[in-house]
Amino acid sequence: MAETLLELQGVSKSFGGLKAVQQVSMRVPAASLTALIGPNGAGKTTLFALMSGFLMPDAGRVFFDGQDITGHKPEINARRGMTRTFQIVQPFAQQTVRENIAVGAHLHLAQRALALEQAEVVAQQVGLAPLLDKAAADLTVAARKRLELARALATRPKLLLLDEVLAGLNPQEISEMIPVVRGIAQSGVTVLMIEHVMQAVMNLAERVWVLSQGQLIAEGSPSDVTRDERVVEAYLGHGTAARLRAMGGAA
Amino acid sequence: MFDSAILIPSLLNGITTGAVYALIALGLTLIYGVLHIINFAHGAGLMLALYGVYLLKERLGIDPYLALPVMVVGMFLLGYCLQRLVINRASHGKDENILLVTLGLSIIMENAALLAFQSDTRSIETPYTLATVTIGPAMIAVPKLVAFAGALVVSAILVWLIQATDLGRAIRAVAREKQGAKLMGIHVDHVYAISFGIGLACLGAAACFLLPAYYVNPQVGNGFVLVAFTIVVLGGMGSFTGALLGGLLIGVVESLGGLYLGESLGQIGIFGIFILVLLFRPQGLFGARS
Amino acid sequence: MKRWRRDIAVIVLFVGAILILTTSSDSGVLLNFLMMALYATLLAQAWNILGGFGGQFSFGHALFFGTGAYIQSIAQMQWGLGAWAALPLALLGAAMVGIFVGALSFRYGLKGSYFALVTLAFAEVFRILALSVNFTGAGVGLMLPLKESLANMQFGSPRGYVYLILVFVVLALLISCWLRHSRFGAYLQAIRDNEDAARALGVNPFGIKLGAIALSAALMGAGGAFYVQVFHYIDPGLAFGPHTSVEALVAAIVGGMGTLWGPVLGAFLLHGLSDITRNLFGQLPGINMIIYGLVLVLIVTFMPRGIAGLSATLRARLGGRNG
């Protein structure tokens, strides 16, 4: 088993009476491409916020690269090598694509000229090169998603947390994005993605965690997990698994 | 130092002033609660209203208390038009823009008054300006007592309006969920403008109560702006109860502060509270996090 | 790389133009106009650093102006320092006040309207303090003795003052240029455009904003020190009152927030406008500020990116979205 890059131990978070995340423990191996899935409202984005430091857990600990980072601020974690993207894209609207990505590149490059150059390189990597001088506010949703990805990539992360990077894309755009994500993982970056697009999850992920109502209900390979009864029930409702079995006969 | 003969009058004074502050703050609270904008022009609006009351008395001989309906309606119309025709259009919905537009309006209003009236401080004389009433060890000026009572009455009417009428329901609906309200057929722009108008109408009423015991000059708004904001933030943005209690509290703080620290430094007490609340308890004493 | 060279080139041209005008003209009117317009420019540039590049709108920038003005006066009149020795103290003092207000505000996450209100409150507090305390001259204010000499930073003709203010304006231009082409500036603008996204990329909002407010305050303090050297007088209302705060922000917004030349354009335009109105309407009180207020409302309504952003505004109106 490869070494663990990110580890959660019994992490919990409540908002008022709502238990958003309950006792989640997981280990993300280094240099892996993994996915976090679950029905809407399961708490996946909250979990990302807890991992990256945007939220402080009520209980439990978060370890990154062997260090306890529980409650540390996002900017500190980013400097350690953990970068996240946002489910609802957050571009620097007034700035160009190049300038947007450069902000990420500046994490390791102090000189403006070098950061701008690096921004071009990263833009090439994700296929945004033709749009480098466009204002972020003028981009389509698909382009903005790529920009979100490029910006995070420019920080040379060890761990990239992608929050629904495929949401809102049409099938063509999805099939264009999948190889990009795979390429990033192959270059050595550990990727953990929140995804609803099952095609991508099955295609890309080595390991999948399933979150439902704040609790981790299953983990394993994509095929194992999608056959897991509890997972089916979480997505399709109580009793579905039994009904499917009754209907379908042999699996 | 704590001689009740000095303390009680100061307290009572503070409470009577506080009631008027509360009325001013209520208008601001309504505007913030519904439109979610911080109306930087609130102080200037009060100043204009004070001049309005002044002119009605000096030019037309109308007693400030009798001028109440005129002022309330007049300020309401002013507020409605400002919101509908200027602020709404200028802001494009962006918060920073609204901030700047209300600031711009306040500058225009203040200096238009300066142009029209020069910077002299003016006050009015009525048969009851100097009359006082004795309560315990305190002699309270009659205008202040009327201000106290009047402010409470108007506040009560305002709260009734918001809680118990159809209009109030529409306003609350828009405040909570603009899109939903729109889908219910509520004309949101109209409600926004009405809310702003009511906010300014409160200033009209406050001015009628204020002028007999106070004065007016073009800068007078500045003093009230920060006090009003302090109250609104202290009471909790969007909370009526908070604005009422906050107003009374601030009135007392100002009075006691003035008593012990002198007029100028007493004011600092208020701003100090303001800064502290903003930093350490921005939801105020009663407010919900908006 | 090439971009900053171009910016520097334009700055050089600008300085050259001002110098040519100043040395070749004997017209008191022109020299006075240049002096006051450049002074307004400095104030606008100072505000622009925090408000335009940083996105933190301060409505009480006079706080730093007044601090600089009072320190400049007190250092000379009560501590026996020369004008040039007092100057760095004025800048430092203003920067420290900036850091104080910034540390409190940013530590507790004040943004938008709340930040604007807090700056207003602080300016008022300082005004009242200055009014109540003796070493600031209380309500009477402080009057700097008239002693014209270069060593005293007091000049007989406006020409000397134009050179002086030009130095500050160029300093501010260079700082703004640096903001456009540096990591610090990129981080500052990222925070302005989306603080959460910036944090996810490793940007430390507190430190960066603090740096911005310190720079902004120092430049504003320079404006205050300059004011005192020119007018030989300061009092609490002039120092901390709303007039200066408004002047600074309106000029920056009208000219174009977050740009290099916006504050220059805005300040020259507004100052020119107010000179014209003064000629047309005489010394009518308040007319100046009414114009400022009107222009502010109009610009925010129709041209939110200011004059410098006019081409972008037009392009957005006429063109469409693509990509």
Asked if residue A178 belongs to a domain, the reply is yes
Dist. CA C33–CA C27, nearest whole Å: 10
Nearest residue in chain A measured CA to CA from C190: A92
Give the rounded distance of the alpha carbon of C30 from its chain centre.
22
Asked if residue A100 belongs to a domain, the reply is no
Containing A24, the helix (H) or strand (E) segment is: strand A18-29
Instruction: Count Cα neighbours of A100 within 13 Å in the Cβ-side half-sphere.
Output: 35
Asked if residue A96 belongs to a domain, the reply is no
Dist. CA C278–CA C37, nearest whole Å: 15
A vs C, Cβ pairs < 8 A, gives 85
Q: What is the CATH number of the domain that holds A240?
A: 3.40.50.300
B95 touches chain C (CB under 8 A): yes
Interface touch A143/C323, C-beta < 8 Å: yes
pLDDT of residue C314 exceeding 80, the answer is no
Residue range of the domain that includes A189: 4-90+158-248
* Helix/strand/coil for A163: strand
Chains A, B in contact, 3 or more Cβ pairs below 8 Å: no
Cα of first residue to Cα of last residue in chain A, in angstroms, is: 31
| pLDDT of amino acid B52 | 93
In this prediction, residue C240 has a pLDDT band, given cuts at 50, 70 and 90, of very high
Strand-pairing partners, residue C100, are none
Interface touch A90/C196, C-beta < 8 Å: yes
Residue found by looking up tokens 């009057």 in the block: C143
φ/ψ (deg, to 5) at A228: -65, 130
Asked if residue A185 belongs to a domain, the reply is yes
Q: In this predicted model, what pLDDT tens digit does every residue of B170-222 receive, in sequence order?
A: 888 888 877 777 777 778 889 889 999 999 999 999 999 888 888 898 888 87
Q: What is the mean pLDDT of chain B?
A: 85
Dist. CA B73–CA B200, nearest whole Å: 10
Count of H-run helices and E-run strands, chain B: 11, 2
Instruction: Count Cα neighbours of B254 within 13 Å in the Cβ-side half-sphere.
Output: 26
ipTM: 0.90
Instruction: Count Cα neighbours of B196 within 13 Å in the Cβ-side half-sphere.
Output: 28
> Cβ–Cβ contacts within 10 Å for residue B185, how many?
7
φ/ψ (deg, to 5) at C148: -70, 120
* Cα of C63 to nearest chain A Cα, Å: 30
φ/ψ (deg, to 5) at A49: -65, -35
Dist. CA A70–CA A83, nearest whole Å: 15
Contact C293, B108 (CB under 8 A): yes
Neighbours of chain B (3+ CB pairs under 8 A): C
Dist. CA A32–CA A186, nearest whole Å: 9
Interface touch C301/B90, C-beta < 8 Å: yes
Dist. CA C5–CA B244, nearest whole Å: 59
Tens-level pLDDT at each residue, chain B (290 residues): 567 778 888 888 888 888 889 888 989 988 888 888 888 899 999 999 999 999 999 899 888 888 999 999 999 999 999 999 888 888 776 777 888 899 999 999 999 999 888 888 888 887 777 778 777 777 788 888 888 888 888 888 888 888 889 888 888 888 887 777 777 777 888 988 999 999 999 999 999 988 888 889 888 887 788 888 888 888 877 778 888 888 998 898 888 888 887 777 777 888 888 888 888 877 776 655 43
φ/ψ (deg, to 5) at B144: -70, -40
* Helix/strand/coil for A55: coil
Interface touch C286/B86, C-beta < 8 Å: no
Dist. CA C106–CA C115, nearest whole Å: 9
Strand-pairing partners, residue A19, are A14
B96 touches chain C (CB under 8 A): yes
Asked if residue A60 belongs to a domain, the reply is yes
The amino acid at residue C277 is T
Residue found by looking up tokens 């720079």 in the block: C215
The beta strand positions in chain C, using DSSP E, are: 142-143, 233-234
- Taking phi first (over 0 means left), then psi (-120 to 50 degrees means alpha), and beta for anything else, what does residue A129 get? alpha
C300 touches chain B (CB under 8 A): yes
Give the contacts of C5 (CB within 8 A, at least 6 positions apart).
none
| pLDDT of amino acid B290 | 37
**Nearest by CB: C297 against B95, B101, B264:** B101
* Cα of C69 to nearest chain B Cα, Å: 21
Dist. CA C129–CA C146, nearest whole Å: 26
Model-level pTM? 0.90
Give the number of residues written for chain A: 251
Asked if residue A138 belongs to a domain, the reply is no
Best of C201, C204, C210, C321 to mutate (most A CBs within 10 Å, chain A): C201
Give the number of residues written for chain B: 290
Dist. CA B155–CA B143, nearest whole Å: 18
**Nearest by CB: A75 against C182, C199, C322:** C199
Q: Is B254 exposed, middle or buried (0-12, 13-18, 19+ CB in 10 A)?
A: buried
Residue B86 with chain C: CB contacts under 8 Å: 297
Give how far Cα B184 sits from Cα of B3, B93, B172, Å: 59, 21, 13
The DSSP 8-state label assigned to residue A206 in this structure reads S
Q: Is B77 exposed, middle or buried (0-12, 13-18, 19+ CB in 10 A)?
A: middle
Rounded mean pLDDT for each run of 10 residues along chain A, 251 residues in total: 86 91 94 92 91 94 94 94 92 93 95 95 92 92 92 95 91 90 93 90 91 91 86 78 70 47
Of chain B residues 187-206, which have a CB less than 8 A from chain C?
Answer: none
Contact A132, A56 (CB under 8 A): no
Dist. CA B111–CA B280, nearest whole Å: 35
Interface touch C293/B271, C-beta < 8 Å: no
Asked if residue A140 belongs to a domain, the reply is no
Give the count of domains, chain A: 1
Strand order in the sheet with A33-37: A82-84, A159-163, A190-194, A33-37, A207-212, A215-220
The DSSP 8-state label assigned to residue A96 in this structure reads B
Dist. CA B138–CA B3, nearest whole Å: 12
Asked if residue A99 belongs to a domain, the reply is no
φ/ψ (deg, to 5) at C64: -80, -35
Interface touch C287/B271, C-beta < 8 Å: no
pLDDT of residue C289 exceeding 60, the answer is yes
Residue found by looking up tokens 């620097």 in the block: A92
